[in-house]
Chain A
Amino acid sequence: MKTRQTILLIACAILLGLNVSMAAEPNYPTKPVELSVGVEPGGGIDLSARMIAERIKPHLGQEMVVVNKPGAGGRVALTFLSKAKPDGYSLTSVGDPAIVLIPHLEKVMYDPIDDFTSVIQYGSFNIGYSVLADSPFQSIKDLIAFARANPEKLTVCSMAVDSPGSIGFQAMALHEGVKVKIVPFSGSGPAISAVLGGHVTVAGTSLSSQMPHIKAKKFRLLAVMGDERDPAYPETPTLKELGYPIVLESWYYIYGPKNMEKPVVKKLEEAFRKVIDSPEFTKFAQERLFWVKRPVAGEDLRTALVRRHKEHGELLKKLGMIK
């Protein structure tokens, strides 16, 4: 008898709980918030999301649970998110290309801007171009000169052809009217080993993947693709400084489904900002080279994404990758 009563009580409690969460919520959040990640456990964005989720509880008042929904460079997670309820309990940690780059090249199941509510940016990382330290190339100029003298001989490794590292170098080659060869790899690890082994000349991957080898003086970093120089490598010029109109940054940010209520977004933004500004997270982000000085949030983030989405589209059009 007693057990039956207990079960009944628990059921009532659950029902009540549900009711509370279904009504408009003045005291959001009242249950754990799910933060999905579009990569397998361990990818760069997965770790950063877990770092944040681990630390956000005191600021949010509820647990944040990281759930991996890997697939198609984050597109699977975003498709799920675009169909989720905008109640503030479903969020996604997004890697940039699925928003500003891929939708130009392929049909996606969501509108990259309008189907979502932008919450806050929490990181930005640079793509760098490195060569072996004992190679004769001292600068991007040397690489271009070599490519001009030897058409289709200069090899650059990156992720797939639609990755920022690949697009940046193609844009540069197009600007100079030279022909280079992009060798695609499935991850930065194999790409870096191919450069270390002398099979491919230039590494065009995330700066953090090249860092150990730059530190060990095996790699020479020639340029980065961000808007500003990377704080970790202040001597290395950006492509923009070298005279190429190419800025390709990769951002990390938090997205929710569209039509989230303003106060909920505000509450989330504040909680996230407290974690992002904490010395522990800053240190982690600095070490992994995705640190941002002033994370943009809310409407500002949306505006920035609209602009970057457009810029990427124009660049791809120039490259002839889209008509």
Chain B
Amino acid sequence: MDVLNSALYGFQISLQPINLLYCLIGVILGTLTGVLPGLGPSGTIAILLPITFHAPAVSSVIMLAGIFYGAQYGGSITSILVSIPGEPSSIVTCIDGHQMARHGRAGPALGISAFGSFIAGTIGVIGLMLVASPLATMALKFGPPEYFSLMILGLIILIYLTQKSLIKAISMGAFGLILSFFGMDIVSAQPRFAFGVDELLDGVGIVPIAMGLFGVAETLVNLEQTEEVKLFETQIKGLLPSRKDWADSFWPLIRGTVIGFFLGILPGGGAILASFVSYAVEKKVTKHPEKFGKGAIEGVAGPESANNAASSTGFIPLLTLGIPANVVLAMLFAGLLIHNITPGPLLLKEHPDVFWGVITSMYTGNILLLLLNLPLIGMWVQITKLPYRLLFPLIILFCVVGVYSIKNTVFDVWIMLIFGAIGYFMKKCDYEPAPLTLAYVLGPMLEQSLRQSLIMSNGTASIFLVRPISLIALVVAAFLLVTAFTGFAKQKRLQVVEGEDPLGQGMGPPGSE
């Protein structure tokens, strides 16, 4: 079989000791990058890129790729332990992962996230080998109208991100959308909501927002507790996922992988979107949605596999079309160019060693990551045993340094602190940050694709209905919206009948009876 031969050829390259070493360095650096909030894989790769000029092409790209997917592993560690999303794609993991840690289950949470990432990453790579070029062709079918409808579908998902009030979730979504409009208008290049501040011309930035809303706000709320109240149950209940955890996580893992696999090929926030979608799907299909937000392992297993599968398939547009799907892959693109290798349609023919070497190195990289991460779980879990009076200054310190390191400006630190304060009041009033961040991530793509489509169609909105992919996405979105609202109405009626819940209070998640 052709693919098998190619894979064997690829392994001959990626298993050479020098390449294994580069792969190991890459995944270690990647994990560290993920753990340290702020400095993302793109920053790390940029710093290391000049060094790789001297290394062989395949080795350096293997290392850079290792940083990329290694960071997805590492990003979840801080999400789980201290509710700081190390990477934007692990924002969702904060919700249930951190709750698990507070119930003494940091070990299983970290374990399932490591195994989930491993399984999803590996399946993603297999998919990459088998269907790379048809998938790339499919990705090209997505023009601006298709993106717009997909983003609408994505926005509908925020309904499923709430544990409490649907109205509050929608209002947070609206807040997120408004925030995403800060910065330069894409069509006219005019500044919007910039108030004469140059730093605001590029918008507010997802990392300061997320770190403020999750990390800083969580810390502030925790500070209200007195010392006697234990924030973390110090009795650690097992370091690895139990048999029951595995049973609960199996299908979320598979579904997350599939979701991540397909969303990963789309440019933009593929991995972030995939993690949100996976969370929403798990909450929709589960029999006990009330556990979500309180430490459901499915809420960790699904998104963590989704973001890793997405980071594997993100390579498809790069390797087959020469189009980088995000900043990190753009750096890899540059890395290849430096070695006189042009990623794109001719890569497979001209440099099969690079193509297959890099792809197979992701298998070895995923195994290395698992071997690296499992023994570390014991160490990470110890962090939850630290007294909070020591832990909270450390968390704030990490947040401040991390946010500063992205753009080297104090401005972002202020943004984070402001959002920390906003997040604190949101928590007090039962508003949740997840819908806000999802809307913020989708906002720019939604707006851009809407305006591009309308330019293409001379202002006629029917362009979204005449194109099949776009139509399907809109129909699914409408269907979800209707079922969500009927489920929600039904539940509200029940509540009124039972007289448990006064109006406007604690309207549960849609579809949960």
Write the residues of chain A forming the contact surface with B, with a CB cutoff of 8 angstroms.
Answer: 40-43, 46-47, 50-51, 53-54, 67-72, 75-76, 79, 105-106, 109, 152, 155, 160-162, 181-186, 189-190, 192-194, 196-200, 211-213, 215-216, 218, 280, 283-284, 287-288
Contacts and interface: CB of A to CB of B under 8 A. Distances in A.
Contacts of B267: 189-190, 193
A218 B331 CA distance: 23
Give 8 closest A-B pairs by Cβ, nearest first.
A41-B46, A199-B143, A212-B344, A72-B201, A197-B140, A212-B322, A216-B345, A42-B331
Contacts of B340: 283, 287
Contacts of A284: 338
Contacts of B50: 50-51, 53-54
Nearest to B39: A41
Nearest to A208: B337
A54 B142 CA distance: 40
Nearest to B452: A183
22 contacts: A53-B50, A71-B202, A75-B201, A76-B198, A106-B190, A161-B188, A183-B452, A184-B186, A184-B448, A184-B452, A190-B267, A192-B323, A194-B144, A196-B140, A196-B323, A198-B140, A198-B143, A212-B344, A213-B345, A283-B340, A284-B338, A287-B338
A71 B452 CA distance: 23
A71 B201 contact: yes
Nearest to B202: A71
Given A40-B42, A42-B330, A197 B323 contact: no
Most buried by B among A51, A71, A183, A198: A71
Given A72-B198, A190-B267, A194-B452, 18 more contacts: A68-B408, A70-B202, A70-B407, A71-B202, A76-B201, A160-B188, A181-B455, A181-B456, A186-B448, A189-B325, A193-B321, A193-B323, A196-B323, A197-B142, A199-B143, A199-B456, A212-B322, A216-B346
Interface residues of B, number: 56
B409 interface: yes
B143 A69 contact: no
Contacts of B407: 68-71
Contacts of A216: 344-346
A212 B139 contact: no
A287 B334 CA distance: 10
A18 B60 CA distance: 39
Given A287-B340, A288-B337, A41 B331 contact: yes
Dominant SS among interface residues on chain B: helix
Interface in B295-309: none
B46 A46 contact: yes
B215 to A, nearest CB: 22
Interface of B: 42-43, 45-47, 49-50, 53, 139-144, 184, 186-191, 198-199, 201-202, 267-268, 317, 321-325, 327-328, 330-331, 334, 337-338, 340, 342-346, 407-409, 444, 448, 451-452, 455-456, 458
A185 B144 CA distance: 10
Nearest to A210: B322
A213 B456 CA distance: 23
A193 B140 contact: yes
Contacts of A161: 187-189
Given A194-B144, A212-B345, A213-B344, A160 B456 contact: no
Nearest to B50: A54
A73 to B, nearest CB: 8
Contacts of B188: 160-161
B189 A160 contact: yes
Given A69-B409, A105-B189, A41 B42 contact: yes
Nearest to A289: B337
Most buried by A among B46, B187, B190, B448: B46
Contacts of A194: 143-144, 452
A200 B452 CA distance: 10
B342 A212 contact: yes
B189 A155 contact: no
Given A161-B187, A186-B186, A72 B452 contact: no
Nearest to B451: A184
A211 B342 contact: yes
A67 B409 CA distance: 11
A278 to B, nearest CB: 12
A42 B187 contact: no
Nearest to A72: B201
A199 B455 CA distance: 12
Given A105-B189, A212-B322, A183 B49 contact: no
Nearest to B407: A70
Contact of B46 (A50, A181, A196, A283): A50
A288 B370 CA distance: 37
A68 B42 CA distance: 12
A76 B49 contact: no
Given A42-B327, A68-B408, A193 B317 contact: yes
Contacts of B46: 41-42, 46-47, 50, 68
Contact of A41 (B47, B321, B345, B409): B47
Contacts of B322: 212-213
A183 B53 CA distance: 36
Contacts of A283: 340
Contact of A47 (B49, B140, B451): B49
Contacts of A183: 144, 452, 455-456
Nearest to A160: B189
Nearest to A70: B407
Contacts of B330: 42-43, 189
Most buried by B among A46, A68, A185: A68
A63 to B, nearest CB: 12
B399 to A, nearest CB: 19
Contacts of A53: 50
Nearest to B458: A152
A152 to B, nearest CB: 7
